[in-house]
Amino acid sequence: MGRVYQRILLKLSGEALMGNLGYGIDPVVVGDIAQEIAEVAATGTQVAVVVGGGNIFRGVKAASAGMDRATADYIGMIATVMNAMTLQDALEQISVPTRVQTAIAMQEVAEPYIRRKAIRHLEKGRVVVFGAGSGNPFFTTDTTAALRAAEIDAEVIFKGTKVDGIYDCDPKTNSEAHLYKTLTYAHVLTHDLRVMDSTAIALCKENSIPIIVFNLSVRGNICRAVNGESVGTIVGGSCEVS
């Protein structure tokens, strides 16, 4: 089966880069993710990436401990840039041309986010990694992923997680939990399934961008999803339990 998507956006949490470490970045895990992205890019699919920063700093957690929320969120944005640069290095180590664009100007280490420039990079076969979130406090990197996907005309958002997809309840505490094959945006919102925050889901719904939630730790899952194979849960269809 050949690829079914021309341009995708991959959402990576900071925790995805942490692996089994308690904090920071696991170079082996980052290298594995970079290799998978390289395999997707080699098929001709244009790849953009939004990274979180929770492996280094969590703005919401710091705010709950007493820090000013806006300040905490800005620190979290800087953490995402650290992750973006790490992923860029891992990709370029295996000869994948990559550009980091940040929503907060850091011209010495990355380009500023410019929509047309990002699209041009993608058209030239470069992987584009978006850092610093949306540049605004009070918004998550999930919302950033939905926003950037809409801006660059991505056909789909892939969200890599530590589980196989979206369940009707927590599979870690309930052995009877059922994995959804497909879900509507409305079902995710009304049942507060929290695969992404409500603002991100609403943005995807408004712009008809499907979200595929899958287990990032299973080797080859990104390529399988790009090729149209049944991987994880698709948000944007009808409700169906596998």
CATH of the domain at 159: 3.40.1160.10
Tokens of residue 154, six digits: 């991505």
Residue where the block lists tokens 């970045």: 25
pLDDT in tens, the chain (242 residues): 456 899 999 999 998 899 888 899 999 999 999 999 999 999 999 999 999 999 998 877 777 788 899 999 999 999 999 999 999 999 999 999 999 999 999 999 999 999 999 999 999 999 999 999 999 999 999 999 999 999 999 999 999 888 889 988 878 788 888 899 999 999 999 988 888 999 999 999 999 999 999 998 899 999 998 888 889 999 996 666 65
In a domain, 155, yes or no: yes
Residues 6+ apart with CB under 8 A from 10: 37, 47, 48, 49, 50, 157, 158, 160, 222
Residue 169: predicted pLDDT: 81
Residue 240: predicted pLDDT: 61
Residue 122: predicted pLDDT: 98
Residue 2: predicted pLDDT: 56
Residue 157: predicted pLDDT: 97
In a domain, 159, yes or no: yes
Number of domains in the chain: 1
Residue 239: predicted pLDDT: 64
In a domain, 2, yes or no: no
Q: State how far the alpha carbon of 6 is from the alpha carbons of 43, 117, 203, in Å.
A: 10, 18, 21
Residues placed in the known binding site for UMP = 53, 73, 134-141
Q: Domain of 115?
A: 7-241
Residue 36: predicted pLDDT: 95
In a domain, 153, yes or no: yes
Query: Which region holds residue 39: left if phi is over 0, alpha if psi is between -120 and 50, else beta?
Result: alpha
Question: What pTM does this model have?
Answer: 0.92
Residues placed in the known binding site for ATP = 11-14, 54, 58, 161, 167, 170
Residues 6+ apart with CB under 8 A from 211: 156, 157, 158, 159, 195, 196, 201, 204, 234, 235, 236
In a domain, 1, yes or no: no
Residues placed in the known binding site = 11-14, 53-54, 58, 73, 134-141, 161, 167, 170
